[in-house]
């Protein structure tokens, strides 16, 4: 018989708020009992005083290298990294090679995911064939094959195609993920168009590239119906557009990456390509507006936009480096260090944006902290202060702007069914 685990003194968060100093008895992949002063002889006891227990995080925006770019990340390394970062489910984007526009491709990823130790994988199907932005993919069949969302993971230039996708998916009731970016305005750009980029001599991506595409797609969603989920919101003014669409009853949800809640374009002064992101880092006033947007709920979800890229690809001139940063093992720690700890974001606001609302967007059930419930929990220790070292990551990628920076807090353990991840992995069983 397997050993049980008893974690003592954790503060458990739920949508109703915190309940402090809870002991959690775990066995057979379930939360057997939760309460104060629990004792159990046949259990490994862990001192969890000061730790925060959250429902497992869900990432709505993940780029995994498999199939096609296994040099960047495999499902095995990516899903393990996600779990170590506190994520128990991630939504994989279809920008693989080949694109996830077929039942075979989606079936492959989902079945591979089932066999792998790590976070659960969900799949966003390509909305158009081969992500060509021209012909609808077989979205009905792809949904039957298990796709949880549809989107091309890149802008679709032709408004009539966006409209058709939104119309067609009304009968499927799945979210349509859009990248709001006018490529006529953004092409050739590598940084936000503003004073910082001007000083650094980097080609600009104006904020209007986002506003124009976002306004277009929100109007299309209003006209066509369907559920639209806006990926990678990066400017303060976009919030007004989303807020207004929501007030008109458009079924819209929105996300921004955790990088855009922490870093501004001033961080580019050293030309570190780990900070070359799409959308680009924006000025501080946008960062502040986005934080407000998360608190208010206009931004429903905070995502990692996990984009693993090899050092060979990133260690080049800023202009030539691919966009993106790996986020799984940086996100929660960085959000805690830079937002929760300084009081800019509460644990509740963070948990809503990374756990509750992403599940709502995908229509999956929110785990509860009640006796008998299957484990889906992350334990975070807000105390330890250390230098983040991406070389220790489970992810194959190292491309993070936070590498070598001081951070506070650590994911101690993630319990997902009968699997345990994190430093606790070697000590306990679920």
Partner 1 sequence: MMLRQKDLLGLRSLSKAEIELVLDTAKPCKQIFERPVKKFPTLRGKVVVNLFYEASTRTRTSFELAGKWMSADVINISASSSSVVKGESLADTAKTLEALGADIVVMRHSASGSAHLLARSIKSRVINAGDGRHEHPTQGLLDLFTIQERKGRIEGLTVTIIGDILHSRVARSDIWGLLKLGATVRVAGPPTLLPPGLADWGIEIYHDVDRAIDGADVINVLRIQMERQASGLFPSLREYSALYGITKERLRNAKDDVMIMHPGPANLGVEITQEVVDDPRSVVRDQVSNGVAVRMALLYLMSGGDVSELENAD
Q: Please pick, from the candidates 17, 184, 198, 423, the single residue that binds partner 1 as defined by CB under 8 A.
A: 198
Least distance in angstroms from the C-beta of 271 to partner 1: 3
Q: Compare residues 231 and 235 and give the one whose CB is closer to partner 1.
A: 235
Residue 133 φ/ψ region, left for φ over 0, alpha for ψ in the -120 to 50 degree band, beta for the rest: left
CA distance 430 to 425: 9
Counting every residue written for the chain, the total comes to 430
The one catalytic residue among 300, 305, 376, 403? 305
H or E element, residue 159: helix 159-168
- For position 197 contacting partner 1 by CB under 8 A, the verdict is yes
Q: Which candidate, 18, 77, 72, 84, places its Cα nearest to that of 331?
A: 84
Q: Which of 14/400 has CB closer to partner 1?
A: 400
Nearer to partner 1, 197 or 308 (CB): 197
114 catalytic per annotation: no
DSSP 8-state symbol, 370: S
Contact positions with partner 1 (CB under 8 A) in 348-407: none
Buried b (16+ CB within 10 A) or exposed e, 186-207: beebbbbbbebbeeeebebbbb
419: phi then psi, degrees, rounded to nearest 5? -100, 145
Q: Choose between 18 and 320: whose C-beta lies nearer to partner 1.
A: 320
Instruction: Find the part of the chain contacting partner 1 (CB under 8 A) among 24-32, 80-88, 195-203, 387-395.
Output: 195-203
76: Cα separation from own chain's centroid: 18
Distance from C-alpha of 229 to C-alpha of 151, rounded to nearest angstrom: 9
CA 26-92-281 angle, to 5 degrees, is 105
Pick between residue 318 and residue 323 the one whose CB is nearest to partner 1. 318
Contacts for 62 with CB less than 8 Å, ≥ 6 apart = 78, 82, 90, 91, 92, 93, 304, 305, 306, 328
Q: Which of residues 202-221 bind partner 1 (CB under 8 A)?
A: 202, 204, 206
φ, ψ (nearest 5 deg) of residue 2: -75, 155
CB 395 within 8 A of CB 70: no
Stretch that binds partner 1, among 145-153, 157-165, 199-207, 368-376 (CB under 8 A): 199-207
Q: Does 427 bind partner 1 (CB under 8 A)?
A: no
Stretches 127-135, 152-160, 192-200, 248-256: which one binds partner 1 (CB under 8 A)? Answer: 192-200
Please give the structure tokens belonging to residue 365: 């059930």
* Min separation Cβ 169 and partner 1, Å: 38
* Residues pairing with 294 in the sheet: none
**Minimum Å distance from CB 368 to partner 1?**
49
Q: How far is the CB of 184 from partner 1 (least distance, A)?
A: 12
Whichever of 202 and 430 has its CB closer to partner 1, that residue is 202
Residue of 17, 50, 68, 201 that binds partner 1 (CB under 8 A): 201
**Cα gap 399→425, rounded to integer Å:** 25
Binding string, residues 252-291; x marks residues near partner 1 by CB under 8 A = ------------------xx--------------------
Q: Which of residues 296-325 bind partner 1 (CB under 8 A)?
A: 312, 315-320
Q: Which residues are catalytic?
A: 305
What is the binding site for partner 1 (CB under 8 A)? 193-202, 204, 206, 270-271, 312, 315-320
């Amino acid at each position: 018989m397997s050993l049980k685990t008893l974690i003592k003194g954790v503060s458990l968060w739920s949508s109703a708020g915190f309940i402090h100093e809870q002991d959690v008895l775990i066995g057979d992949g379930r939360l057997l009992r939760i309460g104060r002063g629990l004792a159990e002889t046949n259990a490994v006891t862990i001192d969890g005083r000061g730790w925060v227990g959250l429902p497992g995080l869900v990432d709505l925006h993940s780029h995994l290298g498999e199939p096609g770019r296994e040099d960047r990340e495999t499902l095995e390394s990516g899903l393990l990294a996600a779990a170590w970062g506190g994520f128990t489910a991630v939504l994989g984007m279809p920008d693989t090679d080949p694109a996830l526009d077929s039942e075979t491709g989606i079936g492959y990823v989902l079945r591979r995911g089932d066999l792998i130790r790590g976070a659960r994988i969900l799949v966003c199907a390509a909305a158009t064939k081969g992500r060509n932005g021209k012909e609808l993919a077989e979205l009905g069949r792809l949904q039957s094959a298990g796709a949880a969302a549809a989107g091309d993971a890149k802008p679709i230039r032709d408004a009539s195609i966006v409209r058709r996708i939104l119309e067609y998916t009304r009968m499927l009731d799945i979210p349509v993920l859009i990248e709001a970016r006018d490529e006529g305005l953004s092409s050739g750009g590598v940084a936000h168009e503003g004073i910082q980029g001007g000083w650094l001599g980097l080609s600009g991506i104006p904020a209007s590239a986002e506003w124009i595409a976002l306004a277009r797609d929100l109007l299309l969603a209003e006209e066509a119906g369907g559920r639209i989920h806006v990926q990678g919101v990066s400017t303060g003014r976009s919030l007004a557009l989303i807020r207004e669409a929501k007030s008109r009853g458009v079924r819209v949800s929105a996300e921004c990456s955790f990088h855009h809640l922490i870093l501004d374009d001033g961080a580019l002064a050293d030309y570190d390509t780990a900070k070359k992101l799409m959308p680009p880092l924006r000025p501080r006033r946008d960062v502040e507006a986005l934080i407000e947007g998360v608190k208010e709920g206009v931004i429903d979800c905070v995502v990692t936009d996990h984009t693993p890229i090899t050092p060979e690809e990133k260690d080049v001139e800023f202009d030539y480096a691919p966009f993106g940063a790996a986020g799984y093992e940086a996100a929660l720690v960085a959000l805690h260090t830079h937002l929760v700890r300084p009081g800019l974001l509460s644990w509740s606001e963070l948990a809503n944006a990374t756990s509750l609302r992403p599940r709502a967007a995908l229509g999956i059930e929110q785990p509860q902290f009640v006796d008998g419930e299957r484990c889906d929990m992350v334990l975070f220790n807000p105390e330890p202060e250390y230098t983040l070292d991406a070389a220790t990551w489970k992810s194959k990628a190292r491309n993070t702007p936070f590498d070598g920076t001081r951070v506070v807090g650590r994911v101690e353990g993630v319990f997902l069914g009968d699997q345990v991840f994190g430093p606790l992995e070697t000590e306990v069983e679920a």
